Amino acid sequence: MTRTVYVNGEYLPETEAKVSIFDRGFLMADAVYEVTSVLNGKLIDFDGHAVRLKRSLDALDMAEPCSKEELLEIHRKLVTLNEIEEGMIYLQVTRGSDGDRDFVFPSDETKPTIVLFTQNKPGLADSPAAKKGIRVISIDDVRWGRRDIKTTQLLYPSLGKMMAKKAGADDAWMVEDGHVTEGTSNNAYFVKDGKIVTRPLSSDILHGITRKAVLRMAAEAQMAVEERLFTIEEAQQADEAFVTSASTFVMPVVEIDGQILGDGTPGPIARRLREIYLDESLKAAV
């Protein structure tokens, strides 16, 4: 089946979808994005993603390509057209193009570019990695200072994943001024003596949609949560660790820089939170 994608108001076969070579998303990573999971053919936390998209657009003084209602309709239509039961929808909005390259923003009349496509991922929820847990290494965080804006500047996170792969690990946690910021594409947590610790929100990290939901669910389940800075060494001494993201939900971490956590299998809090998150999110899916 040829995938149907959405580009600037049109539903097209992926082979016919086109964006200008002068598009600022292409030339300057002048673009923001969102990734929304689909489970049982429904969107997980669509509202959270729509709100964060608006925040990213506002932060960069970029125009909204369409209303939230239209956005929901496009998401739903792509799920239906591509028969997605489990997978993701990728959404990107760029500042568009006025037909040349210039550092200065194009005129206000220039329309933003909006692109959406689906990724079919059967077995997304019942992931083998979640049963085994993942191994992470630490790397320096050399990204720019506005990590709270979800831009498409993903070269360093991509290099980080490659460094992890080369080291025989699954992912990397980034460290700045001695403290863990976040994973290359997820928020980072450890658990010690029953308490969940994660870095507080600031412009140093992405404000994860999954982070927000998981912290709320943890509090509802009477789990202790502390938002504070932490080091790799502290996380290495933890009972367990995990990461969260819209496409991996709650993913247990069993090894940090070669140090095995606990008995080297996913910890009870990470497993419980994954269960609660999937359960609650499915109930609220649209």
Q: Which residues bind ligand PMP (CB under 6 A)?
A: 35, 182, 185-187, 206, 208-211, 244-246
Shortest spacing between CB 255 and ligand PMP, in angstroms: 20
Nearer to ligand PMP, 4 or 210 (CB): 210
Cβ neighbour number for residue 283 with a 10 Å cutoff: 7
Shortest spacing between CB 207 and ligand PMP, in angstroms: 7
Please state, in angstroms and rounded to a whole number, the distance separating the CA atoms of residues 91 and 36: 8
Q: Is the dihedral of CA 267, 227, 36, 41 positive or negative?
A: positive
Q: Active-site residue 195, yes or no?
A: no
Shortest spacing between CB 181 and ligand PMP, in angstroms: 8
The count of residues in the chain is 286
Question: What angle (nearest 5°) sits at the alpha carbon of residue 107, between those of residues 19 and 33?
Answer: 45
Catalytic residue, from 68, 150, 166, 212: name it: 150
| Helix spans in the chain (H) | 24-28, 46-59, 68-81, 128-132, 155-166, 209-220, 232-236, 268-284
Nearer to ligand PMP, 23 or 182 (CB): 182
Residue with tokens 């610790």: 197
Please tell me what DSSP assigns to residue 15: G
Which of 158, 83, 92 lies closest to 121, judged by CA? 83
Shortest spacing between CB 12 and ligand PMP, in angstroms: 26
Please state, in angstroms and rounded to a whole number, the distance separating the CA atoms of residues 286 and 282: 9
Please state, in angstroms and rounded to a whole number, the distance separating the CA atoms of residues 227 and 196: 8
Given a contact cutoff of 8 angstroms between Cβ atoms, the answer to whether 24 and 53 are in contact is: no
Shortest spacing between CB 35 and ligand PMP, in angstroms: 6
Please state, in angstroms and rounded to a whole number, the distance separating the CA atoms of residues 111 and 108: 8
Catalytic residues: 150
